Structure 1
Amino acid sequence: MQNCSERLNYSLQGQADKPALVFLHGLLGDHRDWQPVIDELSKEYLCLAIDLPGHGGSQHIEVVGFEDTCIKVIATISETLSSPFWLVGYSLGARIAMYLATHCSSSLKVVSAPFAGLIIENGHPGLPEPEKAARREHDEKWAVRFENEPIVDVLQDWYQQPVFSSLNHAQRQSLIDKRSDNLGTKVASMLRATSLSQQDFLGELLRTLPAKVHYLCGEKDNKFLALAMHSGLSYSIVPDAGHNIHAEQPLLYCQSIKRLIEPN
């Protein structure tokens, strides 16, 4: 584990001579979210889980947009990995991973670790231009709430959004308890910097990437299941899972990862 003022915090576990998995968490999360799958996957792979800016041990780091965020992620990969790596991103982390893979190819080429592929867990490839203004307004309202209200109160409403409809009351309350150590001002800053309204539509670029790209979606996540089916990408549906597959079905998630990395 490392943590210094200018660099992203991360956890590195597993087999140094094996292919690497770089895990990027969702909004409000941190590297610890991946521990249930890392406990299994680190037996066969090298697992790098990064705290994104404004989160976990990187809470003090602020960014202004996707490119700034990706530069910091690439720097962390560069200093820690030498074996071929897969990007594995969930929700916000998936969008950052998609942006990195499609917009930062020149930066990736100078990393000593070769980029092998991208696994997208319920990540949005981007909005049509006419829908961006409404999304900007939507995200700004949440950012203002995170800045100005007790975070527990905001989280109570955050996890009532339709995308989290597969959660039961106990799961929802557990997430609220777990996420309450976030700083609302930092969450707001990252939400603005990486709003879906600020993201280019990445669909076509993803379909033409030379690296492997695969989409994992939860059976109960109707919105992102539809996105996956219409993405033009190869995809898998994980049964009995909603938006957060790696938390809800960690064993099936690990099995999916292994099949993708070593299909033979």
Structure 2
Amino acid sequence: MLCSRFLTRSDQPDRPVLVFLHGLLGSGADWLDCAQWLQAYPCIGLDLPGHGGSRAVVCHSLDEAAGQVRDTLIQHQLAARPLVLAGYSLGARIAMHGVANGLFAPLNIRLLAVEGGHFGLTSKQEQMVRWRQDCRWARRFRREPVGTVLADWYQQPVFASLNHVQKQSMFNCRSDNLGAGVAAMLLATSLARQAYLADALKSQHVPLHYFYGGHDSKFSRMANDSRVPASCIADAGHNAHKEQPQAFAMALRRQLNQSLEMIL
């Protein structure tokens, strides 16, 4: 069972429960600032395997990660409640993989909210390049102090929109990760091991809405190319819910309001 925390509670039992999945190196607490603007809904953040309170939990594949999310929610007696599954980056890919492959039954998922999630690589060459890249990062996380690796991790182009203060904040809250656990999760859920999911997701009964930062050119292009319903979060990069928590929450709430009849 994954470690979980209720970020907000609601006394309205008919409200859908918002379930948040974080990105690599994060934890369920990453969503706390965002959840403060969603007080009308019960919000729960899960710590994925190898992270936060779940750092001792082992995971070997995307299938297993999705199964651990499902089993945790069932143990919280949430199987019968309408659920909104929201994930960022790694969390988004786990959520998409689970929905696309029917791994979340018998959960009652009514909306899939994806933030900066990669739909998957379409060529063997791309997959090979990504696997080598992830292996290099995993080797560093195993062998070097986490702080040393993070200093380079946040120099990657996808984090270019973060200013110095934001990068320092991310560095500080990520430095207590265990390198071996991060490395194991990175390889178990590598993008190189993920199928291309966009087409499969469109054939599912669970509606999908994509969120991306206005400064995140890579993922804004991906959202537009996939032609799924999408919302742009202004003045934010890849990690929009951390950079602009109120704006992200308002965008998610607008989507919930538009879908309220369907969800309830």
Name the TM-score class by shorter chain. Answer: over 0.9
Whether the 8 Å contact between 1:91 and 1:121 is mirrored in structure 2 is yes
Equivalent residue in structure 2 for 1:79, among 69, 75, 80: 75
- Where 1:132 maps in the other structure, the secondary structure is helix
Q: Name the structure 1 match of 2:118.
A: 124
CA shift for structure 1 position 39: 1.8
Equivalent residue in structure 1 for 2:182, among 179, 184, 187: 187
Q: Which runs of 5+ in 1 are unaligned?
A: 1-6
Whether the 8 Å contact between 1:207 and 1:232 is mirrored in structure 2 is no
Q: Name the structure 2 match of 1:167.
A: 162
Matched, 1:63 2:59: yes
Looking at structure 2, the residues matched to 129 and 70 of structure 1 have their Cα atoms a distance apart, in angstroms, of 24
> TM-score, length-normalised on structure 1?
0.93
Q: Name the structure 2 match of 1:256.
A: 251
Matched, 1:133 2:123: no
Q: Which runs of 5+ in 2 are unaligned?
A: none
CA shift for structure 1 position 129: 2.5
CA shift for structure 1 position 40: 2.1
Q: Which amino acid aligns with 1:31?
A: G
CA shift for structure 1 position 258: 0.9
Aligned residues: 253
Q: Name the structure 1 match of 2:94.
A: 96
Where do 1:207-222 residues align within 5 Å?
Answer: 207-222=202-217
Quick check: 167-176 or 83-92, which moved more?
167-176
Q: Name the structure 2 match of 1:19.
A: 16
CA shift for structure 1 position 115: 1.1
- Where 1:181 maps in the other structure, the secondary structure is coil
CA shift for structure 1 position 104: 2.5
CA shift for structure 1 position 231: 1.0
Q: Name the structure 2 match of 1:225.
A: 220
Equivalent residue in structure 1 for 2:241, among 238, 242, 246: 246
CA shift for structure 1 position 157: 0.1
Q: Which amino acid aligns with 1:66?
A: L
Looking at structure 2, the residues matched to 39 and 224 of structure 1 have their Cα atoms a distance apart, in angstroms, of 26
Runs of 4+ aligned structure 1 residues displaced above 6 Å come to none
Q: Name the structure 2 match of 1:33.
A: 30
Whether the 8 Å contact between 2:111 and 2:208 is mirrored in structure 1 is yes
Whether the 8 Å contact between 2:92 and 2:114 is mirrored in structure 1 is yes
Looking at structure 1, the residues matched to 144 and 56 of structure 2 have their Cα atoms a distance apart, in angstroms, of 20
Q: Name the structure 2 match of 1:3.
A: none
Q: Which amino acid aligns with 2:85?
A: L
CA shift for structure 1 position 202: 0.2
Say what the alpha-carbon RMSD is for the aligned residues.
1.1
> TM-score, length-normalised on structure 2?
0.93
- Where 2:58 maps in the other structure, the secondary structure is coil
Deviations 1:11-30, CA, capped at 9 Å, x for gaps: 12312511111100000000
Looking at structure 1, the residues matched to 162 and 206 of structure 2 have their Cα atoms a distance apart, in angstroms, of 34
